[in-house]
Amino acid sequence: MGAHLITGAGSGIGASVAARLAERGEQLWLLARDARRAAELRERFPGARTLVGDLGEPGKLSWAFGHQELPVELDSLLHIAGVVRLGEVGELPVKAWQEQLNVNLVAPAELTRLLLPSLRLAKGHVVFVNSGAGLNAHAVWGAYAASKHGLRALADSLRQEEHGHGVRVTSVYPGRTATAMQVAVHQQEGREYDPSRWIDPESVATAVLTAVDLPRDAEITDITVRPGR
């Protein structure tokens, strides 16, 4: 039974991945912003362990984890949480830039740093659920795309640095997926939301687990998942 730490397990892709791993009898470690959310996650995923830490304040994660038990060995670290706030460069305030960079980029880097000893022990796997915006930046997506382009760089550097330790690194680039985040995006865009047009979170979960389950003689470095309809 492997141990897997997941961010963003409360909804969307993260919830799908957590449910699939739980069905397999794997040990889940789920990151929650606060104690209330942690309790909700433990109720939803019986047997799961929780860690409390706010991705919006990555500078405090080390202190927070210093007061909690961490996994000794970690088979995968799955970065799935994210935030998006659209706006033109000429209008988007600094706070919106900082929030997206903190949650989408700086926090995954810090979380990875703190958990690398556990990942190295298990010769584990780091998966960054990125975005199509990590490959192409469009109007009003500048801050979000910048955070996701940075996440791609983080993954590429980490892969080269940790290859000798047996740690695999994968970036997954989903297109629009039928999640709560996509509902919020449509609201910001002023568009009607039709989930049937977009990727099912289960399909992205399949891509994530395909990379994690791949035999050790190979490493999937990048997966792009596009809407099939």
pLDDT > 70? residue 89:
yes
Q: Which residues pair with 3 in a beta bridge?
A: 27
Give the count of beta carbons closer than 10 Å to the beta carbon of residue 72: 10
Asked if 1 and 25 touch (Cβ cutoff 8 Å), the reply is yes
173 among known catalytic residues: no
Asked if 109 and 154 touch (Cβ cutoff 8 Å), the reply is yes
The residue-averaged pLDDT of 60-67 equals 97
DSSP at 221: -
Which pLDDT value is given to residue 31?
A: 98
Question: Which residue reads 């979000």 in tokens?
Answer: 144
For the chain, give the percent of residues with pLDDT over 70.
97
For the chain, give the percent of residues with pLDDT over 90.
86
Which pLDDT value is given to residue 229?
A: 75
The residue-averaged pLDDT of 201-218 equals 96
Give the count of beta carbons closer than 10 Å to the beta carbon of residue 47: 10
Confidence of residue 214 (pLDDT cuts 50, 70, 90): very high
Which position among 29, 45, 128, 144 bears the catalytic label?
144
Which pLDDT value is given to residue 113?
A: 98
Alpha-carbon distance 79 to 177, whole Å?
Answer: 16
